[in-house]
Amino acid sequence: MHFFKKKAFSNLPKISIVTPSYNQVQFIEQAILSILNQNYPNLEYVIIDGGSTDGTLDIIRKYEKYLHYWVSEKDAGQANAINKGFSKCTGDILNWINADDRLMPNALYSLVKAVSADSGAGAWVGCCKIVDIEGHLLEINVPRGLSRGKMIEWGFKGHFFQPACFLSKKVWETFGPLDEKLYCCFDLDFYLKILEKYKLFPVGKIWAEAVVHENAKTQKHLKIMKQEISLIQRKYGYTHWVRSDIEEKIMYDFLKPGYLRTLLIKIYKTGLRNLYNLKLNLKNFRH
């Protein structure tokens, strides 16, 4: 079994990561190891489980001596679990990595370099691999449209994948906690709050990997996600972006990760590849 080893402690910023979990035994060990195997010496890792009954707790206990804190109890949903986790954290940089997501090797050290490049940013956003349940690459998501006016049109003009976005302590203290009334889009709501005062700093490195599967929230509850995006657009005064059900069905069917979308994106980006590489230094997607 691939395992991790500790490096000697050095003067690095403290990074706090929370994993919310509920009955994700199929994925959670990979998520845990992807974080612990960063070999990052100044790490706080917290797991908030919602009372799993599928064997998840056996896996968590296997690694509990490496955790800053963990608990398994009924909660009020994913946003509530993340808020509970962050309440136990003291890091300078924070993120949540869901049980079915993973960090890429050396992501945290790459993150530290990005923080050094722009320490005043509200968050630092890397690229994210999108894979199917068997690990086949569907696409590499590159952060785009990181302004408030574009992020409000989530998925079209502005978009990135959450596990590759790391938050500064100051934005969590200013704008937290996450809105627990939202089921899917509490992250988008929080990013728009950040953009009231701070910028999101894009980085051309692959920091995370997200697994697309039938039980993933964004796949299983797509209708709720679309409703919440419309709600958020109205909340922030962007009512002109609210689309009809027919418009949303056409556009979201195209945006659903898969091989056809990947092919269309590759064709679309052919003429923009040099611009992407120049702007985000993505020539080989190397750490």
Contact status, residue 116 vs residue 201, Cβ threshold 8 Å: no
pLDDT tens column, 60-73: 999 999 999 999 99
- pLDDT for res 238: 82
Q: For residues 23 and 134, what is the distance between their CA atoms, to the nearest angstrom? A: 19
Across 217-234, average pLDDT: 78
- Any bridge partners for residue 93, and if so which? 15, 168
Whether 186 shows a pLDDT value over 90: the answer reads: yes
Structural domain boundaries of the chain? Answer: 12-103, 105-282
Cα 205–Cα 287–Cα 166 angle in degrees, nearest 5: 50
- pLDDT for res 226: 84
Greater model confidence, 268 or 188: 188
Whether 158 shows a pLDDT value over 50: the answer reads: yes
- Indicate the pLDDT class of residue 10, thresholds 50, 70 and 90: low
- pLDDT for res 259: 54
Whether 37 shows a pLDDT value over 80: the answer reads: yes
Greater model confidence, 9 or 13: 13
Does pTM surpass 0.85?
no
Output the average pLDDT for the chain: 85
Whether 241 shows a pLDDT value over 60: the answer reads: no
**Burial label, 140 (beta-carbon count in 10 A; 0-12, 13-18, 19+):** middle
Other beta carbons less than 10 A from residue 199's beta carbon: 15
Cα 170–Cα 228–Cα 268 angle in degrees, nearest 5: 85
pLDDT tens column, 87-136: 999 999 999 999 999 999 999 999 999 999 999 999 999 999 999 999 99
Q: What percent of the chain has pLDDT over 90?
A: 67
Contact status, residue 187 vs residue 167, Cβ threshold 8 Å: no
For the chain, the C-alpha Rg in angstroms (whole number) is 18
- Indicate the pLDDT class of residue 245, thresholds 50, 70 and 90: low
- pLDDT for res 271: 46
At the fourth CATH level, which superfamily is domain 12-103?
Spore Coat Polysaccharide Biosynthesis Protein SpsA; Chain A (3.90.550.10)
Distances (CA, A) of 250 to 243, 245, 256: 11, 9, 10
Q: For residues 44 and 229, what is the distance between their CA atoms, to the nearest angstrom? A: 32
- pLDDT for res 285: 40
Across 254-268, average pLDDT: 55
Three-state DSSP at 270 gives: helix
208-212, 237-241, 257-261: the lowest-pLDDT one: 257-261
Q: For residues 168 and 217, what is the distance between their CA atoms, to the nearest angstrom? A: 26
Whether 218 shows a pLDDT value over 70: the answer reads: no
Find tokens 């206990």 and name the residue.
61
- Indicate the pLDDT class of residue 140, thresholds 50, 70 and 90: very high
pLDDT tens column, 11-30: 899 999 999 999 999 999 99
